[in-house]
Structure 1
Amino acid sequence: MKLRTIILILLLSPFVFGFQSRNKSFFPLGIVAPIEKDSLIHAAGFKFIGESVGRMISPSLSGEQFNSNLRSIGKLRSKLYMCNVMFPGNMKIAGPDVNEPVVLSYVDSLFNRAQKAGVSRIVLGSGGARRLPDGYDVKKATGAFVSLCKKIATIAAKYKVKIALENLQTKETNFINTVKSAAEIVRSVNHPNFRLNADIFHMRREHEPPQNIIDAKDLLIHCEIAEDAERTLPGIKGDDFTPYLAALKAANYKGPIFVEAGSNYSEEQIKFCFKYLSKQIENVYNN
């Protein structure tokens, strides 16, 4: 290589690599939405899409329905990365009415289908399924739930699926309402296939500090986000997420971040959401 060429490369490299750094994707972004919106979502910039267990991989779906879903999944431009609402509301997983053999049989079938569909993450929110009767002993419920989740995690490992336990606001359930309490359960389960989802929407609803994300950094495999007042797409109301995004940065979280804010939005709103959230993330990393 000629000396003049080498000198030119050295002179230009700070600009080239600086440009790449400024435009890197710090967190891969996904969005929970019907797969019918895949083309719109991909065009907006989202790399991943999330769906519900009930629509995509539930054991209650017939073989024909599931196979039809597999064909649809194979045509997606955005990758189907996760499914949420792991349990139907009438299948209790906490409290006095848990039927453990039924639950374990269900998750075995569910994880089998998740593996076939290429779904590597399943979010365990399911507020109705884990709601406790009023006045029920929370300590007793927690011990039994941890024991059940250890068994669920063992089955998940067989199918190479990871579960992300989600904190849910008190309006949705009365059990496990913060990232801090969810992290305590994940630590007690102590299984690599049973980890933590930090849902920033629910954190803000419960006035939970960003520090709790940092404190649980070794457990975190998933993160979800939406605006506070009406659970809208980031950018609709103009919410500032930077304290929580800064906590993710401090926790060395690698992503993805999933928008979970309903699905009745226009193409323009979804595109703006991607740009709005990306800009806040960029600002956090550049400060």
Structure 2
Amino acid sequence: MRLKNLILLFFLAPVIFSFQSANQTFLPLGLVAPIEKDSVTSASGFKLFGESVGRMISPSLSEEKFKQNLELIKKAKCKLYMCNVMFPGKMKIAGPDVQEQAVLGYVDSLFFRAQQAKVSVIVLGSGAARRLPDDYDIDKAKKEFVLLGKKIAATAKKYNIKIALENLQSKETNFLTSVKSAAEVVRRVNHPNFRLNADIFHMKREGESPQSIVDAKDLLVHCEIAEVAERTLPGIKGDDFRPYLRALKTANYKGPIFVEAGSNYSAAQMAFCFQYLTKQIEDVYTH
């Protein structure tokens, strides 16, 4: 009987290993998509999704609308892990026109709603809100932004929210357009609730080396990705992300990778994206 079991195990071992490998998740994968696409997002393999602050948890939403959103979030098959576009474009957070008390009042209300929605991370991209006048001194802007960041971080701590400062391409803003420059600000804010998002799409657009991820390894809490030419889902054009994924591995990054590439895709494309990205992650993490 024992010999038969050993023989059976011998023949089944490759199948068992293949099944485990196919289902092993080295890094959680999420998708930024409208909550209305929750079912297809889940069916594609994603366990996490991201939405916008404006649509889900903004202080500008009526209490009735926010309660409706909470019900949608509660019923969703995927977990709403993060919201992006933290600030509306007209609310300046850098440069000469910052109204600090208005900003701090806004974030207090925002983080209160984020806590109710059980959102873990809010991504601070907001390119228009942080765009500087062309002649504004960049060092002055950083000093001012760091001081504001410290106050925002203190409010985030009160509600147990993590802020993830995002590097943006220069097409979207003229302030903090690299992981390196965003990491410098995060270090100066020096607060556990004010951390870094390494957006690989923006890094590739700006020609930034994967080494910047390694250099900021102690700050990373979030990562986003899309194909560089047209911001498509990974797999549509066939981009190779492995140099950046190797940097994440070297940095011992344990957080999720979120695909942020628009939402006008078929169920088949979304499922292929999940498989394509999972395969590249496996290639990196198993070698």
TM-score under structure 2 length normalisation: 0.95
Q: Which runs of 5+ in 2 are unaligned?
A: none
- Matched ranges for 1:112-123 at <5 A: 112-123=112-123
Counterpart of 2:261 in 1: which secondary structure? coil
CA change 1:147–1:271 in 2 (3 A) is: same
1: CA distance between counterparts of 2:23 and 2:254? 16
- Name the amino acid aligned to 1:217: K
2: CA distance between counterparts of 1:158 and 1:9? 56
Counterpart of 1:51 in 2: which secondary structure? strand
The answer to whether residue 202 in structure 2 is matched with residue 202 in structure 1 is yes
Moved over 6 A (4+): 2-14
**1:179-214 Cα shifts (integer Å, max 9, x gaps):** 000000000000000000000000000000001101
Counterpart of 2:81 in 1: which secondary structure? strand
- Matched ranges for 1:80-95 at <5 A: 80-95=80-95
- Matched ranges for 1:41-60 at <5 A: 41-60=41-60
Match of 1:147 in 2: 147
Match of 2:281 in 1: 281
Match of 2:164 in 1: 164
**1:203-240 Cα shifts (integer Å, max 9, x gaps):** 00000000110110110000000000000011111111
Q: What is the number of equivalent residue pairs in this alignment?
A: 286
- Matched ranges for 1:117-132 at <5 A: 117-132=117-132
**1:110-168 Cα shifts (integer Å, max 9, x gaps):** 00000000101000000000000011000000000000000000000000000000000
Larger mean CA deviation between 266-275 and 92-101 belongs to 266-275
Percent identity between matched residues is: 71
- Matched ranges for 1:226-245 at <5 A: 226-245=226-245
Query: How many angstroms does 1:266 deviate by?
Result: 0.8
Query: How many angstroms does 1:14 deviate by?
Result: 7.1
Match of 2:266 in 1: 266
Match of 2:36 in 1: 36
1: CA distance between counterparts of 2:197 and 2:142? 18
Query: How many angstroms does 1:255 deviate by?
Result: 2.2
Match of 1:174 in 2: 174
Counterpart of 2:187 in 1: which secondary structure? helix
The answer to whether residue 24 in structure 2 is matched with residue 24 in structure 1 is yes
Counterpart of 2:92 in 1: which secondary structure? coil
Q: Which runs of 5+ in 1 are unaligned?
A: none
2: CA distance between counterparts of 1:117 and 1:263? 22
CA change 1:210–1:136 in 2 (3 A) is: same
Query: How many angstroms does 1:3 deviate by?
Result: 7.5
Counterpart of 1:182 in 2: which secondary structure? helix
2: CA distance between counterparts of 1:11 and 1:90? 65
Query: How many angstroms does 1:286 deviate by?
Result: 2.1
The answer to whether residue 73 in structure 2 is matched with residue 68 in structure 1 is no
2: CA distance between counterparts of 1:124 and 1:227? 21
1: CA distance between counterparts of 2:122 and 2:4? 52
2: CA distance between counterparts of 1:254 and 1:217? 10
2: CA distance between counterparts of 1:8 and 1:110? 60
Query: How many angstroms does 1:20 deviate by?
Result: 2.7
Counterpart of 1:89 in 2: which secondary structure? coil
**1:89-125 Cα shifts (integer Å, max 9, x gaps):** 0000000000000000000000000000010100000
Aligned residues: CA RMSD: 1.8
Match of 2:225 in 1: 225
Counterpart of 2:221 in 1: which secondary structure? strand
TM-score under structure 1 length normalisation: 0.95
1: CA distance between counterparts of 2:286 and 2:201? 24
